[in-house]
Amino acid sequence: MQAMLPPGALPGDELRLQRIRRLEDEILACQRCPLAQTRTRAVPGEGNLNAVVMFVGEGPGFDEDRQGRPFVGRSGQFLTATLAQFGIERRAVYITNVVKCRPPQNRDPLPTELEACSGYLTRQIELINPRIIVTLGRFSMRRWFPEGAITQIHGRVRNIGRGRIALAMFHPAAALRNPTWQSAFVQDMAKLPALIERAERANAAAARGEALPAGAPHPGDADYVA
């Protein structure tokens, strides 16, 4: 499964879809780091081309490596169920990881692997252009919240520039291992509907050529906590 065009897609969306499909093909054939030697399939990501929200996890696990899709195992089911709990359809969002190939035995990705794969996520963000990036786990968190432990940072919302915010959350696999973190995961996800509503209002205003409504992040805004 790849990026999809939503119903009512705009004229420029077809070109953008072609560009993201080419990027996905590039990832599927990538040999830039040693994880290419041990993967079954690379997992570029999937979801709505016009998603307001992009979820960024750590890397594919056993099931994802076999199926070539992100977050399809137990932690993915938990993520999907928690989204549904707050009225968010999985098909409305885009889901990917900081490394696109499974580290052996689900070990942490190495700094060299993160570096080698980083450009793909940058290009996905440019193409999907989400207003909200939700980091799942400490490896994606560090890209936008480099300063602390996830136990302190989770739940924080940060302006990351270009009209985007990031929300830091535990990885769903970690949440499933720890009841306290599981509660925190649900509480942090509870912030998302209001953030989405504000982002959609900002997109609608931008489409009408109006100034962004109050509360929509602008480049240069100070950090804030929701």
Cα angle for residues 4, 22, 6 (degrees, 5° grid): 15
Taking the least distance from each CB to ligand SF4, the nearer of 35 and 150 is: 35
Q: How far is the CB of 40 from ligand SF4 (least distance, A)?
A: 12
Provide CB contacts within 8 A for 119, sequence distance 6+: none
Taking the least distance from each CB to ligand SF4, the nearer of 103 and 217 is: 103
Q: How far is the CB of 13 from ligand SF4 (least distance, A)?
A: 25
- Burial (CB count within 10 angstroms: exposed 0-12, middle 13-18, buried 19+), residue 170: buried
Taking the least distance from each CB to ligand SF4, the nearer of 117 and 132 is: 117
Taking the least distance from each CB to ligand SF4, the nearer of 60 and 217 is: 60
Q: How far, in Å, CA of 138 to CA of 140, rounded?
A: 6
Instruction: Please name which of 92, 99, 59, 86 lies closest in space to residue 75, comparing C-alpha atoms.
Output: 59
Q: How far is the CB of 26 from ligand SF4 (least distance, A)?
A: 8
Q: How far is the CB of 116 from ligand SF4 (least distance, A)?
A: 4
Kindly state the DSSP code that residue 101 receives in the 8-state scheme.
Answer: S
List residues binding ligand SF4 (CB under 6 A): 27, 30-33, 35-36, 42, 99-101, 113, 116-117
